[in-house]
Amino acid sequence: MNNPIGVFDSGIGGLTVVRELLRVLPDERIVYFGDTARVPYGSKSTDVIQKFADQIVKFLLSKEVKLIVVACNTVSATALDWLSSRYSLPIIGVIEAGAKRGVKATRNNKIGVIRTRATIGIKAYTTAIHQLRPGIEDHSKSCPLLVPIIEEGGDVELTHLALTRYLLNFKQKDIDTLILGCTHYPLIKDEIQQFMGEDVKLIDSANVVAHEVLNILNNTGIGTSQNINNPKHLFYFSDIPRGFKQLSKRFIGYPISYTKVILG
C-alpha cells in the first residue's frame, strides 16, 4: 500500500521520531503534523488534548494515511485508547515502546521515567511497565521546564540548572534505567546522561516505535511496494514561529520545507 504514514506531535518534538522512521523505513512516505500553535500539550487537560488530537487525526486522514504514529508522550498517555476506539486504522503510541525497551534494559528492576506534567497523573507508563513485569519499581518525575528550554535552543547552563532542580533527589532512587518520556528530551540526551551518570541506561522510544511500525507494516501487508529514492515527505505545522527553520533542523537533522495549516 503506497499511502503515507501519518505522524503527529504537539510541536516539533515528534521530528525525533520521524528521524528514526526514515532510518528504519527509507521507502515509506511521511506526512507530519506538529501543533506548534498550541504547544505545549504537557500543561493541558485530558479533554482538551483529546479534542486537539482528534482534529489532527482527521487532518491526517484527509491526506489518506494508512497508519498513524502518535509521536507525543502526552497524547499517547491521555488519548491513545480514546483515538483507537474511534478510528479503524492502526494508531501507534510511544509509551508501550518505551516501557518495553526499559523493562528489557533494567538489571536491578528500578526504572525512572521523566515526563511532562499532563502525563504524570496518568499511570500509562506504570501500567505498561507492570504489564510487562509486575515486580518492577518505577519512579516518575515531571520536568515541565525542559520543553521550553529545549525549544529556546537548549542552553547548556539552563539545562543543567533545570536537571539539578528536577533530578537531584531522583538520582538517589537507585534506578539503573531512565525512560525519556517526552519527545523533546532526546535533544538533551548527553546532558541527562552526564547528570545521571554512565551507569544509568537512557531509553529513547523513537527507535523502538520505528521498529514496531516496521513489524505492523510487514504483518498486515500494508508496507509500500515502491522503491523510491528520497520519497517526498510532507511537513505541516499550525504555526511557524521565529527561528523555526533552525529549530526544526536540530530535531530532524536536516533542513525541511513545510506548510502552515490552522486546524479547528
Instruction: Give the residues lining the site for ligand DGL (CB under 6 A).
Output: 9-11, 13, 39-42, 72-74, 116, 147, 182-184
Which residue is catalytic, options 67, 72, 80, 196? 72
Tell me the residue nearest to ligand DGL as measured from the CB: 42
Which residue, 116 or 140, is less far from ligand DGL as judged by CB? 116
**φ, ψ of residue 113 in degrees (nearest 5):** -135, 125
Q: Kindly tell me which of 177 and 205 has the beta carbon lying closer to ligand DGL.
A: 205
Report d(CA 43, CA 60) in Å as an integer.
Answer: 24
Q: CB–CB of 258/235 below 8 Å?
A: yes
CB of 91 to ligand DGL, least distance (A): 16
Nearer to ligand DGL, 184 or 233 (CB): 184
If we measure between CA atoms, which residue out of 104, 94, 84 comes closest to residue 201?
A: 104
What grid cell was written down for 264?
A: 479547528
The question of whether 182 is a catalytic residue gets the answer yes
Q: Closer CB to ligand DGL, residue 118 or residue 217?
A: 118
Q: What's the min distance (Å) between Cβ of 79 and ligand DGL?
A: 12
Examine the residue annotation and report whether 143 is marked as an active-site residue of this protein.
no
Least distance (Å) between residue 70 CB and ligand DGL: 9
- Among 214, 26, 181, 163, smallest CA distance to 101 is for 181
Rg (CA), the chain: 18
Q: Which three cell numbers stand for residue 81?
A: 485508547
Active-site choice (17, 67, 147, 182): 182
Q: Measured from the CB of residue 87, what is the shortest distance to ligand DGL in angstroms?
A: 20
Cis amide prior to 40 (ω within 30 degrees): yes
Residues designated catalytic: 72, 182
